[in-house]
Amino acid sequence: DAKTTQPPSMDCAEGRAANLPCNHSTISGNEYVYWYRQIHSQGPQYIIHGLKNNETNEMASLIITEDRKSSTLILPHATLRDTAVYYCIVRGEGSEKLVFGKGTKLTVNP
């Protein structure tokens, strides 16, 4: 599975959009981009995933660049409860495992 690079930390004001970047320049054609988040002392929570098209659900939007070498997770109106570590994961179609890196620690400030 391809490796991902994320900034170690980010801050966002409550009510504003949080845009979390992820680089995955070695991604291959059958690998999906997954986003999870982990609030302290809890299990990771699935947010969204995509292959090449942009995706949106009730939690977030995922924007994948045309060359698929990077993506951005957008939380449209961040709340204090969105403070967490966000993980960008690239997973091959036939792979059972999710490989979690260090992620981005997002802090939403009042």
Partner 1 sequence: SQTIHQWPATLVQPVGSPLSLECTVEGTSNPNLYWYRQAAGRGLQLLFYSVGIGQISSEVPQNLSASRPQDRQFILSSKKLLLSDSGFYLCAWSVVRNQPQHFGDGTRLSIL
> In the set 28, 45, 56, 79, which binds partner 1 (CB under 8 A)?
45
> In the set 94, 104, 109, 110, which binds partner 1 (CB under 8 A)?
94
SS (H, E, C) the chain: CCCCECCCEEEEECCCCEEEEEECCCCCCCEEEEEEEECCCCCCEEEEEECCCCEECCCCEEEECCCCCEEEEEECCCCHHHCEEEEEEEEECCCCCCCCCCCEEEEEEC
> In the set 42, 53, 58, 81, which binds partner 1 (CB under 8 A)?
42
Instruction: Tell me: does residue 67 bind partner 1 (CB under 8 A).
Output: no
> In the set 1, 10, 61, 101, which binds partner 1 (CB under 8 A)?
101
Instruction: Please report how close the Cβ of residue 70 comes to partner 1 at its closest, in angstroms.
Output: 20
Instruction: Tell me: does residue 105 bind partner 1 (CB under 8 A).
Output: no
